[in-house]
Chains A and B, each alone.
Chain A
Amino acid sequence: MERLRQFQALAGLTALEALRQPLFLLLTAACVMATGLAPLVLMHQFGEEGRLARDGGLAFHFVFGLFAAGYAASSSLSGEMRRGTAAAVLSKPVGRATFFLAKYAGVAAVVLAFSLCATVATLLAERVAERFVMEPGIAGFVTDTRTGVLLGLAPLVAFAAAGYVNWRRRRPFESTAFVLLALFLAAIAVWACLFDRLGRWAPFRTPTQWAIVPASLLVALGLLALAALALALSTRLGATPTMALLVAFFLLGLMSDHWFGTRAADSLASATLYRLLPNWQHFWMADELGGGGTVSIRYGMQAALYGVAHIVGVLCLGVASFHGADVETRG
């Protein structure tokens, strides 16, 4: 029980520290704004209503998430080693495995919070996207400009409100802005459920693409795998090499099917790399959603198992690496 409380304290502090990092807030806000504004400024349909908004939202989720997860993970461990706070904590009765795993739990919590914001933004963006309507007085393509503007403004309103709270109550700006952004997104989602694009009371009459949720969950799982990788790399490397290697792993994993999968039958090296490298394509289900498709439960479970196995394996390597590492201030 005591160790659990210690674990909670470490994980909570890691999450709080990550939320109070200005860069993490900026990445989240940029992801929400890009997702929300894309359907307002892009007029191309991509062959299907809402597809561009949906694919764009999931892509923003993955790419901004890559940097958010990598930054949160590397700054939480490598940054702590550099600043010396890791030494201060490990001089207390804290086991190294507890410290490492609590770091991961804290980072995972903020990555999931980021993914929650990105998912809600993608759901709303899909609603904003241009679609054909046949209504009295209208027969053509329209966009849900109100929801789009609300979505695009949400980060700015959250920043302004957090500034006011900071001035009045002296609460930290970054974490307050993040929490307010999440609350505003939830409020916009509720508003979008109850009102139509013209602001008329029409509860639950506008269709929502709920299939985005499982696809987004898989992207979130991919981000958790990336965070585990970044944390394991941080046990021995500084923040810059960690981020560079993480991007390399991301690109290699995206192209794994093409580079290694096609040669796996003929080459042992390709087969080994194909199995060892995390294949991010397993977490990218945007194409499956085309034409009203969904992510099957069976596939979702298989992909989840694949992701969890990768995370557990990488975390075990990270614990082993951190156990033998010298904890000293990195210049």
Chain B
Amino acid sequence: MNAGLAIETNGLVKVFRDFWRRPKVRAVDGLDLAVRPGEIFGLLGPNGSGKSTTIKMLLGLLRPSFGAIRVLGRAPRDVATKKRIGYLPEETCLYNYLTPRETLDFFGKLFHLERAARRQRTEQLLDMVGLAHAAHRRVGEFSKGMARRIGLAQALVNDPQLVVLDEPTSGLDPIGCRQVKDLMLALARRGKTILLSSHLLADVEDVCDRIAILYNGRVRAHGSVKTLLRQQDSLCMTMPALPPATLERVLKSVRKLVGAEPEVNCPSMDLEQFFLQVVAEAGRVGEVRSGVAHSDQLADFLTNERADPPPGAPRP
């Protein structure tokens, strides 16, 4: 196994068994993965393709039936490895009777953080996820999106080296989705490794350096996003709006030179950009009374830019 990789699996297999120990389902089937330090790696696949099972094996929560795993150079069940990992589960799993502040303080204690550091990080993370005003409420009363934000905050409380995010934007509004994507990019700029599992392909395309697509527990395609999505036989040009006569002359020249009919489109703002504009405008005049206060700020302890990003980690 390669010691330089953040995550490496060889021939990973997970067979779930029933009460009588008979094989029930082969969720992961001979999976080989190699995630480099400092990259954002996307794990894609339809429901039941083995993404979450793979993640749980990487975290030592499930025992592989066969195969080998190394996470940050160690076995996944090694407690020392987990000090450097942040994990956001697919379903936000929080203690319903705790408040957000108690929740973050509790997870901070599990990482042996001192009281002052816990308090500071808790406040910064609550501000970052826009829930400082709801810090006295029980997590069990939260909407799915609000609970998701607390889940994200707890995954970052230890300033992890490897962040594992299982469907991080599930249940979030478009602003929250944008913040999560910005957060991932900011963390990657600091040299953090991110393993992202998501159904939202646009999100993955926006942030991931490389992806692997799983189906029935096996990798069906993998590589850099740009390479996998590139269409070698076509080209797209963007230019200022042209008067009709000029456009006709350009098209005529292209037809003559290329010998094919070019496709002309007017670029438009996408719905996400439009939504963000409208909400930003509304936020300037109104105050938050319930739900989430939107903030563009990252927690201070997560924003110290790393001077020398690791090699082989191109940023989108």
Contact = CB atoms under 8 A, between A and B. Distances in A.
Nearest to A10: B110
Contact of A9 (B59, B61, B110): B110
Given A89-B110, A90-B60, A91-B85, 12 more contacts: A5-B109, A6-B112, A84-B89, A85-B93, A90-B61, A91-B60, A91-B89, A92-B110, A93-B79, A93-B80, A328-B61, A329-B93
A326 B106 CA distance: 24
Nearest to B59: A91
Interface in A47-80: none
A13 B95 contact: yes
B132 to A, nearest CB: 16
B110 A93 contact: yes
A234 to B, nearest CB: 16
B110 A6 contact: yes
Interface in B48-94: 56, 59-63, 79-80, 82-83, 85, 87, 89, 91, 93-94
Nearest to B82: A93
A239 to B, nearest CB: 16
Interface residues of A, number: 29
Given A85-B94, A88-B89, A329-B91, A94 B62 contact: no
Interface string A1-31: 0100110011001001100110000000000
Nearest to A170: B136
Contacts of A324: 63
Nearest to A89: B110
16 contacts: A9-B109, A84-B89, A87-B56, A87-B59, A87-B61, A87-B93, A88-B87, A88-B154, A90-B59, A90-B60, A90-B61, A91-B60, A91-B61, A93-B83, A172-B138, A327-B61
Contacts of B301: none
A85 B95 CA distance: 7
A83 interface: yes
Sort A-B residue pairs by CB-CB distance and give the 4 closest, nearest first: A84-B93, A9-B109, A20-B97, A91-B87
Interface residues of B, number: 31
B107 interface: yes
Nearest to B80: A93
Nearest to B137: A170
Contacts of A6: 109-110, 112
Interface in B83-124: 83, 85, 87, 89, 91, 93-98, 106-107, 109-112
A92 B164 CA distance: 12
Interface string A311-331: 000000000000010111100
Interface of A: 2, 5-6, 9-10, 13, 16-17, 20-21, 83-85, 87-95, 170, 172, 324, 326-329
Interface of B: 56, 59-63, 79-80, 82-83, 85, 87, 89, 91, 93-98, 106-107, 109-112, 136, 138, 154, 158, 164
Contacts of A90: 59-61
Contacts of A84: 89, 91, 93
B107 A92 contact: yes
A85 B61 CA distance: 12
A88 B92 CA distance: 9
Interface centre among B80, B93, B98, B158 (most CB of A within 10 A): B93
Contacts of A13: 95, 98, 106
Contacts of B60: 90-91
A232 B109 CA distance: 25
A17 B112 contact: no
Interface centre among B87, B89, B109 (most CB of A within 10 A): B109
Contacts of A91: 59-61, 82, 85, 87, 89, 164
Contacts of A21: 97
B173 to A, nearest CB: 23
B89 A87 contact: yes
Contacts of B91: 84, 329
Contact of B112 (A5, A10, A83, A327): A5
Interface centre among A17, A91, A94 (most CB of B within 10 A): A91
Interface centre among B79, B136, B164 (most CB of A within 10 A): B79
Contacts of A95: 79
Nearest to B94: A85
Interface centre among A13, A90, A92, A327 (most CB of B within 10 A): A92
A326 B61 contact: yes
A5 B113 CA distance: 10
Given A84-B91, A88-B89, A328-B62, A172 B97 contact: yes
A2 B112 contact: yes
Given A92-B82, A95-B79, A327-B62, A16 B97 contact: yes
